[in-house]
Structure 1
């Protein structure tokens, strides 16, 4: 990779890591539904200037509801319910484990021996984290945060079917498709009056957090990431995502004073190690279809 593109990949990982902190701060002011709605409404503004990509509506909705709506709404609810920011950033990145597992089931992509080892390591790490549940956040909150990597993985596989389209245009419309039902959900759960009151009395901190989440973390960062995946093999780009949980955990420790017990810290490191093995392994082979 060119040095400039390496810097872009690192910058995107840092942005995504810091976005977890911005989410936690924004949730002090907004409900999970409203925060997620604002995130995608801001990121969808480019739809005013770009055409809908040549992707069928059912596929566009399916990608949006898994890759964006399902993942980020569950993430917002989990963080609001007490899941630590640093731990959330690690669990979300375990999507690599579920992506490989679902690809094996749906596309018959047989994991390589090294990927199988990585799956085992990451699974062990998640089990170690499970053993710490109940001390500072509930089992229900942990179940909600686990929706994130599963939804992320399904969205990754669906995204394969949207080949040959401009990434910026696609992600903008994915955000629009997510923002509309999220707005309806917010009006039903929060109510029109409280929603308007939250928007009318938005603080400068809340505004900055939403601009970071919507314009920078979602719109610009995903566009840059899509460009890197277009210009380079995924094996060169995707490993940079391993920086996200390190940035998220470090930033959470500085901003919120988040600490990790020995077992949880060991579990987080084990998950990241397993993901590293999976991402750095060779691509899986495809099993022959049986007539």
Structure 2
């Protein structure tokens, strides 16, 4: 990655890291499937009226909506509502990097280099250290829902890579439009009639996740996926729990222990190592041939 694209990927991780604190606020006021459905409805309308066609076959829009919109976010928010705390959720969800690499190798034929394997191993060592320090305090069912959400995100990354939409923002508007109806229907069936009365912080939460995290975040994400292999871009999301736990410490006063700081260092170094290519030493210029005397 170029330095500019590297900074873009890290900035996206910061946006998505803070997103977990924001979603935790929203889930205090809305049931999870309704929250997800309204989120995507807000991201789609009125932008859909000005977006134009997605530029790819409709099956790719439906595929990303099913995997990322309904699968990832539906499972994720239900898991959080079932007892997974925001910090641990931001950690577990980053298993999507592993799922993405596996799906990309199996379905797209991408190469898994030794450098990527080593970098991912170091980064996942940091994630394991955070998990040990944080502790699996949530219910097993909620934990498994978040693992399933990570798998759905990994598959969605590969589908979006295969689709290669020419305009990531326009594509995400259509994905949001395709995601909202099934989520709202599931909410009606499983959660009952919607109740949309909420304090201002609930609606501010929805505005953030709809426009900053969803449209802005996934627009950038798709833009990066069109320029790099999925197995190159995906590891940068391992930075999300670093920003997630940092923002939780700043906003909620959650303490940061030394094991967490060490884990953050391992994650950052592993991601940077896996996502960058070593510089090839420049060969010395050949000496000019000597003319015979």
Q: RMSD between aligned alpha carbons?
A: 3.2
The answer to whether the Cα contact below 8 Å between 2:172 and 2:218 also exists between their aligned partners in 1 is: yes
CA distance in 1, matches of 2:111, 2:275: 15
CA distance in 1, matches of 2:237, 2:124: 18
Partner SS state of residue 143, structure 2: helix
The answer to whether the Cα contact below 8 Å between 2:76 and 2:145 also exists between their aligned partners in 1 is: yes
CA distance in 1, matches of 2:110, 2:237: 22
Partner of residue 94, structure 1: 95
CA distance in 2, matches of 1:118, 1:65: 30
CA distance in 1, matches of 2:224, 2:103: 24
The answer to whether the Cα contact below 8 Å between 2:64 and 2:175 also exists between their aligned partners in 1 is: yes
Partner of residue 182, structure 1: 183
The answer to whether the Cα contact below 8 Å between 1:90 and 1:271 also exists between their aligned partners in 2 is: no
Cα shift at 1:257: 3.6
CA distance in 1, matches of 2:37, 2:249: 27
Partner of residue 104, structure 1: 105
Q: In the alignment, which of 189, 195, 213 is matched to residue 209 of structure 2?
A: 213
Alignment of 1:59 with 2:69, yes or no, is no
CA distance in 2, matches of 1:144, 1:270: 26
Structure 1 residues 160 and 80: CA distance shift in structure 2, 3 A:
same
Partner of residue 37, structure 2: 37
What TM-score, normalized by structure 1, do the two folds share?
A: 0.79
Number of residues of Structure 1 aligned to a counterpart in Structure 2? 275
Structure 1 residues 223 and 71: CA distance shift in structure 2, 3 A:
same
CA distance in 2, matches of 1:187, 1:203: 22
Partner SS state of residue 162, structure 2: coil
Partner of residue 50, structure 1: 51
CA distance in 1, matches of 2:14, 2:110: 31
Structure 1 residues 217 and 242: CA distance shift in structure 2, 3 A:
same
Which has the higher relative contact order, 1 or 2, with Cα contacts under 8 A spaced 6 or more apart?
Answer: 1
Structure with higher Rg: it is 2
CA distance in 2, matches of 1:206, 1:36: 13
Cα shift at 1:238: 6.5
Alignment of 1:251 with 2:241, yes or no, is no
Partner of residue 25, structure 2: 25
CA distance in 2, matches of 1:83, 1:258: 16
How do 1:120-199 and structure 2 match up within 5 A?
Answer: 120-124=121-125, 136-192=137-193, 195=194, 198-199=195-196
Structure 1 residues 31 and 204: CA distance shift in structure 2, 3 A:
same
The answer to whether the Cα contact below 8 Å between 1:33 and 1:182 also exists between their aligned partners in 2 is: yes
**Gapped regions of structure 2 (runs ≥ 5):** 279-293
Deviates more, 1:51-60 or 1:121-130: 121-130
Structure 1 residues 10 and 107: CA distance shift in structure 2, 3 A:
closer
String of CA shifts for 1:60-86, please: whole Å, max 9, x gaps.
211111122211122212222232222
What TM-score, normalized by structure 2, do the two folds share?
A: 0.79
**Gapped regions of structure 1 (runs ≥ 5):** 283-291
CA distance in 2, matches of 1:239, 1:105: 17
The answer to whether the Cα contact below 8 Å between 1:44 and 1:175 also exists between their aligned partners in 2 is: yes
String of CA shifts for 1:13-65, please: whole Å, max 9, x gaps.
33222111110000001111111111111111111222232333332211111
